[in-house]
Amino acid sequence: MTNYLKLLRFLKGHEKLFSIAVVLMIFASIFEGFQLPLLVPLMDRIFNNKPIVVANDLPDFLDNFIQHLNTMDPEKLFWIFPVITIVLLIVKHTFIFFYKLCMSDVSQRVMRDIRNKLYSKMQHLSLDYFSNKRTGELVSRITFDVNLVENALSYGLIDLFCQTTMIVIYATIAFTIFPKGTIILLCVFPLIAIPMSSLGKRLRKFSKGIQEKIADINSILLETISGVKLVKAFCAEKQEIERFEAKNHEYYKLRMSSIKRILAISPMTEIFGTVCGVGIILWIGRLVMSGELSSGIFILFFGSIMSIISPIKKLGNVNALIQQALVANERIHQVLEAPISVREADDPYELEELRESIRMEGVEFRYSDDTDIVFAGIDLEIKKGELIAIVGPTGTGKTTLVSLIPRFYDPTKGRVLFDGQDLKDVSFRSLRQQIGIVTQESILFNDTVRANIAYGRPKASLAEVEEVAKQAFAHRFIVKMPQGYSTVIGDRGFRLSGGEKQRLSIARAILKNPPILILDEATSQLDSESEKFVQEALDELMKGRTVIAIAHRLSTITKADKIVVLDEGKIVGLGKHKELLETCDLYKRLHSMQFQA
């Protein structure tokens, strides 16, 4: 029940439009129900020229109306009948058009809101959340899962209200004509709910599996399309095709199992309805033969009862849609309700530009309670204007350590202080506006060169963009591109070389003009020629800034004001280059093995 309420909660803010849709739908259903009673005068008075006969007492207004029809000339009714039919048809379809339009508008608004909420939540989630989730899985929440909720709202809710109203209308007509028979039949009809409920539970289970397989497929697509060079380099096309086909076949099997059960709903209700119809003919048909019931009234009763079968069948399909949507709703709320581990303070302090230093005091970090400690007992001071180099073997937590400074993560224990102010108490914007980051993997978007460089300052002029591109030694290759600064660089900068991507990243950082700069092995994956250009650009970028560099290049390390040597989660060396060569065995070994090379 809680999951149902969560699903309906998405209608919040759209109650007025939804209510209008429901009212219009009720009127449409009423006019739909009016069509069936028109068969009575058509059969009894117009074609047979016989009086309308009902076996039981009717309310006075209905009895008077039937008596009036019985006294009317069949010829006159013959001309009135088609006019009434056409008017009712026009009115009915007018209501149907507008209630479906309103309901579709509601569903599309809800889908828009859900996608906005999901994307907004993903943007505010901490980095540790994404380390445990596949990109394809998160994409499927916004696409496939949201579409299932849309189906439940746009079709499911419409039919839920519409078909329920139709059942009430037809049951009322049947009860008015033959109360005893209607009560007995309405006691029999709920029996069809037993297999329907069983089918719904199975569908919900299959739907969960289907959505997981879609997430798997999305993940494979994102991995192999973004890593197409690697796939081709290792001649792994066949391997990846087989992996995709295996997941796709698993999805197919689950989908077919679900479809079989959905398709079973229709024949089940048809057979059940036919059995009920035969029983009505055998039971009540005798009243027509004896003259206690006119043929028109019998057809109205029979038609009303049989018309209940169709809404029941549609409600079975609605149940299938809702079961699928409930599973999707659970997955959507897993994202919406995911805890944010790094939160901004309620009334955050606005930092001014760094004046003295950044300090780490007794810092310990682990990604979660069930993982090992990455580092512990870290005490470090980074003074304004210093170049700090962080070195150490792979996997010692160098990147994680510097990620504490822009507060991508919070330390498990200890504090990170910015001019004495605990980072947990400051606003994200005032902190991160002061920090520029250049990583070994250049993050670029499928947009123009200009838009990528101006990502941190979208309103920057073309002249400003060109100036920083020149400082980053990128202007020369940019102007050679087909549309220059207006050239779209492709997904993740697919059309650029590694050195070109990195120079655009550096230009972006220069345009931001941050007083603090974090370099995370920014030249480690470049060839010698590209590294030369990028290093020159970095040297330009580093001037007059506080720089924290995870370094592998000897020139960066030797000119550092302070070198931090990390090993097994602890600082094992701290000092200048020459000093550490004499006092730190690990640094001496790294220098001879890696840096010197």
pLDDT tens, 87-103? 888 888 898 899 888 88
For 321, phi then psi, to 5°, come to -65, -45
Res 440 pLDDT > 80: no
Residue 370 or 1, more confident:
370
Is residue 206 within 8 A of residue 254, CB to CB? The reply is yes
For 508, other C-beta atoms within 10 Å of its C-beta total 26
331 and 452, same domain (yes or no):
no
pLDDT digits (tens, 9 = 90+) for 393-439: 888 888 889 989 999 889 989 999 999 899 999 998 898 888 888 87
How confident is the model over 46-75, as pLDDT tens digits? 666 667 666 566 666 666 766 777 777 777
Between strands 413-418 and 516-520, the pairing is unpaired
Q: Which residues of 184-219 are buried (b: 16+ CB within 10 A; e: fewer)?
A: ebeeebeebeeebeebbeebbebbbbbbbbbbbbbb
Q: What is the mean pLDDT of the chain?
A: 80
Q: Are strands 516-520 and 435-439 parallel, antiparallel or unpaired?
A: parallel
SS3 of 456, please?
coil
Q: Inform me whether the pLDDT recorded for 515 exceeds 80.
A: yes
Q: Are residues 151 and 30 part of one domain?
A: yes
End-of-domain residue from the set 296, 312, 336: 336
- Identify the residue with better confidence: 490 or 595: 490
Q: Please give the structure tokens belonging to residue 161.
A: 């209200």
For the chain, percent of residues with pLDDT exceeding 70: 87
Shared-domain flag, residues 103 and 221: yes
Please give the average per-residue pLDDT across 34-56, as a whole number.
65
Domain end position, chosen among 513, 539, 559: 513
Question: Measured on CA atoms in the order 299, 305, 306, 307, is the torsion positive or negative?
Answer: positive
Does a structural domain hold residue 276?
yes
Q: What is the pLDDT of residue 416?
A: 93
Confidence grade of residue 227 (pLDDT, cut at 50, 70, 90): confident
Longest Cα–Cα distance in the chain: 120
Counted domains in the chain? 2
* Same domain for 450 and 316: no
- 38-55 burial by CB neighbour count: b if 16+ within 10 A, else e? ebbbbbbbbeeeeebbbb
Select from 275, 305, 336 the last residue of a domain: 336
In a domain? residue 93 = yes
| Cβ–Cβ < 8 Å for 469, 507 | yes
pLDDT at 41: 59
Asked whether the predicted pLDDT for residue 504 surpasses 90, the reply is no
Same domain, 127 and 255: yes
pLDDT of residue 61: 64
Separation between Cα atoms, residue 300 and residue 295, nearest integer Å:
9
**Section 214-235 average pLDDT:** 78
3-state helix, strand, coil in the chain (%, to 5): 65, 10, 25
Cβ–Cβ under 8 Å, residues 495 and 411:
no
Which has the minimum average pLDDT: 225-229, 513-517, 586-590? Answer: 225-229
Cβ-based neighbour number of residue 179 at 10 Å: 12
pLDDT score at 446 = 81
Q: Find the helix or strand (DSSP H, E) in which 157 lies.
A: helix 157-177
Residue 517 is predicted with a pLDDT of 87
pLDDT class of 360 with cuts at 50, 70, 90: very high
Q: What is the CATH number of the domain that holds 461?
A: 3.40.50.300
Hey, what's the torsion of the CAs at 18, 24, 29, 35, to 10 degrees?
A: -160
Nearest by Cα to 486 from 434, 532, 515, 451: 451
Nearest partner of 100 among 4, 15, 20, judged by Cα: 20
The CATH number that applies at residue 90 is 1.20.1560.10
Q: What is the pLDDT of residue 512?
A: 85
Whole-angstrom Cα distance, residue 459 to residue 18? 41
Answer whether residue 233 is part of any domain.
Answer: yes
C-alpha neighbours within 13 Å on the C-beta side of residue 595 = 23
Residue 166 domain boundaries: 2-336
Domain check: are 30 and 153 in the same one?
yes
Average pLDDT over residues 3-28: 83
Return the axis-axis angle of helices 498-512 and 462-471, rounded to nearest 10°. Answer: 120
Instruction: Report the 10 Å Cβ neighbour count for 254.
Output: 20
**pLDDT category, 358, cuts 50, 70, 90?**
very high
528-585 pLDDT per residue, tens? 666 676 677 777 777 788 889 887 666 667 788 899 998 888 888 899 888 888 888 8
Residues 6+ positions from 481 with CB-CB distance below 8 Å: 449, 487
Task: Answer whether residue 220 is part of any domain.
Answer: yes
Q: Is the whole model's pTM more than 0.95, yes or no?
A: no
Give the angle 541-543-545 at the CA atoms, nearest 5°. Answer: 90
Q: Is the pLDDT of residue 359 over 90?
A: yes
Tell me, yes or no, whether 327 and 453 share the same domain: no
503 CB-near residues (< 8 Å, 6+ apart)? 469, 472, 473, 474, 477, 533, 534, 537
Same domain, 455 and 328: no
Domain contains 134: yes
Q: Considering the domain boundaries, does residue 520 fall inside one?
A: no
Comparing 1-5, 112-116, 134-138, the range with the smallest average pLDDT is 1-5
Judge contact between 489 and 444, C-beta under 8 A: yes
Give the other-Cβ count within 10 Å of 143's Cβ: 12
Quick check: 129 and 334 in contact, CB under 8 A? no
Residue 413 lies in a domain: no
> What is the H or E stretch that residue 534 is in?
helix 528-542
List Cα–Cα distances, 83 to 296, 445, 533, in angstroms.
Answer: 20, 63, 85
| Cα-Cα-Cα-Cα dihedral sign, residues 279, 281, 283, 284 | positive
How far is it, in rounded angstroms, from Cα 269 to Cα 271? 6
Contacts of 52 (CB under 8 A, 6+ apart): 40, 41, 44, 45, 66, 69, 70, 294, 296, 297
**Angle, vertex CA 566, rays to CA 560 and CA 568, nearest 5:** 175
Q: What is the pLDDT of residue 554?
A: 66
According to DSSP, residue 426 is labeled: B
Look up residue 162 and give its amino acid: C
Residue 327 sits in the same domain as residue 204: yes
Instruction: For residue 528, tell me if it sits in a domain.
Output: no
